[in-house]
Chain A
Amino acid sequence: MILSFSWFWTGLMALSSFAALAAQAPPPKVIAITGGKLLTVSHGTIDNGVLVMADGKIAAVGESGKVSVPPGAEIVDAKGMTVYPGLIDPESNFGLTEVSADQMSNDLIERSDEIMPHMHVYDAFHSETELIPVARLNGVTNAVVAPATDDTIAGQDIFIQLFGTDRDQMILGRDVALAMNYGAEQRRRGGRSGGGGGISREYPSTRMGLITQLRQTFLDVQDYVSKQEAAVKKGEKPKRDLKLEALIPYLKGERPVVIGVYEGYDVETIMGLAQEFRLKVILNHVTHSQEVLDKIAAWKVPVIVGSIYDFPRADQRFDAVYTLPAELAKRGVKIAISSADAGGPVSSHSARNLPYAAGCAVAYGLPYDDALKAITLNVAEMFGFGDKLGSLDVGKMANVVVANGDPLDVRTDVKQVYIQGVAVPMVSRQTRLRDEYSK
């Protein structure tokens, strides 16, 4: 082991629960990582670099010899290592699930209605989830947490830090985006469980129904806003409608709306609605939208590609989805890549594989730097954290990963993760089981 991480092992390994570890982690101090290959994301690669972290932030970054290491700083020798910003997963369900099949551990989605903008992920987020340390061990330091996708308007996302003493410390942003979905999956509420392709008796059971319902909802919000304003002018105190109120910032374009949509024709339909109401759109999935990529580029909306492992249609070449990030990037679209496995709902049990999804995009034509950006800086920028996270730049939060090789390669082993300049103990429930049975 090249790195000198011994200081935190002593005293910390004895503690039993990870929550306790988090609570008693040493306060941020000055740490200088020297001699590593720095992937800055924002300004290229520095082959032999120095990165200084102080007060939870990146204090200096540059070539060896050109960056002065403050006296008293702890030196971490990272020769032969690769140093890069913490990875950011643009779609996760951290803290909303524990054991997928155990419904009592799931707070993924409120299914009682299609229009649920007043569902706030922060109310369910379980910060002590065992999923977080597991993902963090592979270098994931931040994530967007979103509800599951059953509803056209599923709720509002949070942006989290994958380390901290409690929920409040780990949630960096509340209601950072509205989670919307459009397509076949959202139809036939109450009818799907009946199965068999029968005719649902519940509205909205078709795409026509979904879109009409959405349009009416946004019109209702506009009406609500004008009526509330009029009432306030008259000195009245009108009753608040939390559902409609929740949509106001999104109708004003103040915050992004993440629209999960797969098929090209669905993309066109939902973008029509989004433009009608001037929503600030981030498209999500688009894995069966190869025929509308030029339009997506023309709309100048960013795209979260995921899962890159979604299956192509049966008539398509095997790599029709693998090549999607490259095809979008080629057209100038700003992209992020998410961690999901093929097709199904997001499962953040697999979030530790986020870098490999980006690596897959590289294998199928995406330039390497774009791929790393798609799981770091681009995600930060899409969700309003571009000035704080996503690259190795002075002044940014010191979320830094040290690994023994290429971060996008499955063979690479992450040696140390720093979050806000703190060397996070590299333990999870899984490492504890490993160690217990390795004795």
Chain B
Amino acid sequence: MKQFHERLPQHRRLVLCLILISATTGAALNAQQAAAPQSDLVIRNATVMTASHGTIEHGAVWVHAGKIAGVGETVNAPASAVVVDAAGEWLTPGIIDPHSHSALDSDVNEATSPVTPSMHMIDAFDNRSADLYRALAGGVTTELLLHGSANMIGGQAVVIKNKFGLDRDGMLFPNAPGSIKFASGENPKRVYGSRDQLPSTRMGNFEVMRMAFEDAKHYMADWDAYNAKVAKGDKDAVAPKRDLKLEALADVLRGKLYVQIHCYRADEFLTEEAIAKEYGYKIRAFHHALEMYKVADKIAADQTAIATFSDWWGFKDEAWDAIPWNAVMSMRKGVRVALKSDSDDHIRRLNQEAGKMVHYGGATEDEAIRMVTLNPAWIIGVDDRTGSIDVGKDADLVLWNHDPLSTYARAQKVYIDGDLFFDSSLPGLGTTHFNGVMHDDGGFGGEDEAGEEDGQ
């Protein structure tokens, strides 16, 4: 542990000097005046991988009131700032997983109908799950917790900040945009086909979606007609019945929800894009997307991102053409690429999954680190708040003992909104806000694509 206490006086001189000679912003001065002594933090001497503007050797990051207030070779932090000397360590933005089913117990799939858009994952979110802790220890600060892939149109996701130890609401990402999970391919047709229900084929899969959107359009028209009557002062107008399922679908058509689609095959990306255009919504990201390398130029034009596995393959037929070069090949053709876990196992080492992209296709360090930070933040719709080390963003930061793209990196400290949530040098669990009893979701679960019966 490299606590700064013993070096504090020296650093104070440095900081004062900087304040005197540099053109300090008003924000910095205000921070100095307004902040309580403990609310400013400076991490210095680290190799700072910003994810947005390259790597700064011997860089410093200043955190004020939970936000990044400065980043560079030096920062204009107040003298009262707590300083962490991170010589020999690496600093990255918090790792972001855009596809997780952690902390949902076995409530991942409402696999009782192929269209369940009014399900909300927040209703299943268990904030004391051990999986959250293990992900935190792997540097994960934000997760998109998704419905499973049994349904063509599944439920609505919850975005969390991995502030393990806080209560449920304290772990929610404030004001994050809503996302909805769609699926396609083998899982829906297997789940419902095995019950002799629609869909049991890819024809059935897509038609189920179209029928659902036709229902939603009709529902929207009913409401539009009602609202028009009311606007005209018609006091006899009767409001249509509110239907949670159709309202959720209407939100898709109105562009109020980011559409996140579990999809493997090249032909299905094209069909999904065509249906989206037909009904007037945009697809935020294809998840898994193992065949994106085959049609990346077309999908790049639609500005749909992908959240893909680094190197999983062969677990099912639609994963047979998966290649580990998919991420980099797709990126080179203009697709925004994130790596994701879909696994309570791999979520603990997404940094290594990014490192593999240096191997498979020659991603630069910048490109690789973006795949687990800024790009997944974009998929979730929180890239203006987190995902890179830039002034004004949330101070979601991870200090590593080794290059985070290597096999050897261990997260030393994990900060979320400037608050320390994990410190590996502490005895016991290393948690700073949690000292209770964790829930074990049991077994080895959490995986979407381990070939389980109802596909998550």
Quote the shortest CB–CB distance from A406 to chain B (angstroms): 8
**Given known contacts A344-B447, A430-B322, what 19 new A-B pairs fall within 8 Å (CB)?**
A99-B317, A100-B451, A101-B317, A102-B316, A309-B348, A311-B134, A315-B437, A317-B429, A342-B344, A353-B311, A360-B349, A363-B408, A408-B407, A409-B408, A410-B352, A410-B355, A410-B356, A410-B359, A430-B313
Question: Contacts A318-B133, A434-B323, A437-B293 hold; do A99 and B407 have CB atoms under 8 A apart?
Answer: no
Among B315, B321, B359, B439, the residue within 8 A (CB) of A101 is B315
Q: List 20 A-B contacts (CB under 8 A).
A: A98-B314, A99-B316, A99-B319, A99-B320, A101-B317, A102-B316, A131-B314, A311-B130, A312-B134, A314-B437, A315-B438, A317-B430, A318-B134, A349-B315, A350-B312, A409-B355, A410-B352, A410-B358, A410-B359, A430-B323
Query: How does the 8 Å CB contact mask read for B334-357 relative to A, with 1 for contact and 0 for none?
Result: 000000000111101100100110
Assembled-state Cα–Cα distance A156/B407 (Å): 34
Say whether B294 faces chain A, with CB atoms less than 8 Å apart.
Answer: yes
Select which of A100, A102, A312, A411 is within 8 A of B358 by beta carbon: A411
A294 at the interface (CB under 8 A from B): no
Contact B317 A341 (CB under 8 A): no
Number of interface residues of A (CB under 8 A): 45
Nearest opposing residue in chain A for B451, CB measure: A101
Overall SS of chain A's interface: loop
A158 at the interface (CB under 8 A from B): no
With contacts A344-B444, A356-B407 taken as known, whether A430 is within 8 angstroms of B352 at the C-beta atoms is: no
Q: Is A112 an interface residue (CB 8 A)?
A: no
Contact (A410, B406) CB under 8 Å given A101-B451, A343-B444, A344-B450:
yes
CB neighbours of B138 from chain A (8 A): 318
Q: Is A347 an interface residue (CB 8 A)?
A: yes
What B residues does A353 contact at CB under 8 A? 311
* Residue ranges of B at the interface with A (Cβ–Cβ < 8 Å): 130, 133-134, 137-138, 186, 293-294, 311-317, 319-325, 329, 343-346, 348-349, 352, 355-356, 358-359, 402, 405-410, 428-430, 437-440, 443-444, 447, 450-451
Name the interface residues of A323-375: CB closer than 8 Å to any CB of B. Answer: 341-344, 347, 349-350, 352-353, 356, 359-360, 362-364
| C-alpha spacing A59/B416, complex, angstroms | 57
Which 7 A-B residue pairs are closest in the complex by CB-CB distance?
A: A343-B444, A359-B407, A314-B440, A342-B345, A318-B137, A101-B316, A410-B355
Chain A residues near B325 (CB-CB < 8 A): 430, 434
Question: How far is B198's CA from A316's CA once the two chains are assembled, in angstroms?
Answer: 45
Verify B439–A99 contact, CB threshold 8 A. Answer: no
Distance of A411 Cα from B359 Cα, bound (Å): 5
Q: Mark A61-104, 1 if CB is under 8 A from B, else 0.
A: 00000000000000000000000000000000000001111100
CA A30 – CA B346 in complex, angstroms? Answer: 43
Q: Whose C-beta in chain B lies nearest to the C-beta of A364?
A: B410
- B358 contacts A311, C-beta separation under 8 Å: no
For B407, give the chain A residue with the smallest CB separation: A359
Report whether B315 and A347 are in contact in the complex, using a CB–CB cutoff of 8 Å. Answer: yes
CB-defined contacts of B345 to chain A, threshold 8 Å: 309, 311, 341-343
A269 part of interface (Cβ distance < 8 Å): no
| A363 touches which of B321, B344, B409 (Cβ 8 Å) | B409
Which of A100, A312, A317, A411 has the most B CB atoms < 10 Å from its CB? A411
Q: Check A360/B407 contact, CB under 8 A, given A343-B345, A430-B323, A434-B325.
A: yes
Query: Does A313 reach chain B (CB closer than 8 Å)?
Result: yes
Q: How far is the CB of A160 from chain B (nearest CB, A)?
A: 18
CA distance A318 to B348 in the complex (A): 9
- B15 smallest CB distance to A (angstroms): 34
Cβ of A266 under 8 Å from chain B: no
| A319, B349: Cα distance in complex, Å | 12
B402 touching A411, Cβ below 8 Å: no
CB of A107 within 8 Å of the partner chain: no
Question: With the chains together, A158 CA to B294 CA distance in Å?
Answer: 38
CA distance A343 to B343 in the complex (A): 11
- Residues of A within 8 Å of B293, CB to CB, are 433-434, 437
Residues of A within 8 A of B133 (CB): 318
A403, closest chain B residue (CB): B359
Q: Is A412 in contact with chain B by the CB < 8 A criterion?
A: yes
**Cα A342 to Cα B131 with chains together (Å):** 13
Of all chain A residues, which has the CB nearest B360? A413
| Closest CB in chain B relative to A382 CB, distance in Å | 24
Give B402's nearest chain A residue, CB to CB.
A363
Least Cβ–Cβ distance between B371 and chain A, in angstroms: 13
Q: Which residues of B contact A411 (CB under 8 A)?
A: 355-356, 358-359, 405-406
Q: Are B407 and A413 touching (Cβ within 8 A)?
A: no
The reply on A6 being an interface residue by CB < 8 A is no
A353 vs B359: C-alpha distance when bound (angstroms): 12
Contact B316 A100 (CB under 8 A): yes
Minimum Cβ distance to chain A for residue B420 (Å): 16
A363 to B409, CA, bound (A): 7
State which of A130, A134, A344, A438 has its C-beta within 8 Å of the C-beta of B329: A438
* Bound-complex Cα distance A431 to B323 (A): 8
Distance between B29 CB and nearest chain A CB, rounded to angstroms: 41
**Taking the nearest CB of chain A, how far is it from the CB of B39, in angstroms?**
29
- Cβ-defined partner of B444 (8 Å) among A99, A342, A362, A431: A342
Residues of B within 8 A of A433 (CB): 293, 321, 323
Tell me which of B315, B406, B430, B440 contacts A313 (CB under 8 A): B440
B410 near A363: Cβ-Cβ < 8 Å = yes
With known contacts A319-B137, A344-B450, A411-B358, A100–B315 Cβ distance under 8 A:
yes
Bound-state Cα–Cα, A312 to B344, Å: 12
* Complex interface residues of chain A between 391 and 439 (CB less than 8 A to chain B): 408-413, 430-431, 433-434, 437-438
Q: Cα distance A203–B345 when bound, in Å?
A: 34
Contact A318 B430 (CB under 8 A): yes
Q: CA separation between A311 and B349, bound complex, in Å? A: 13
Give chain A residues whose Cβ lies under 8 Å from the Cβ of B320: 99
Contact B444 A409, beta carbon cutoff 8 Å: no
- A438's nearest neighbour on chain B, judged by CB, is B329
A362 close to B407 (CB less than 8 A):
yes
Q: Which of B315, B409, B437, B440 has the most chain A CB atoms inside 10 A of its CB?
A: B315
- For the complex formed, measure the closest distance between the CB of A293 and the CB atoms of chain B, giving whole angstroms: 20
A412 to B362, CA, bound (A): 10
A317 touches B323 (CB 8 A): no
B343: min CB distance to chain A, Å: 8
Known: A101-B451, A341-B345, A413-B359. A363 touches B407 (CB 8 A): yes
Min distance, Cβ A195 to any Cβ of chain B, angstroms: 10
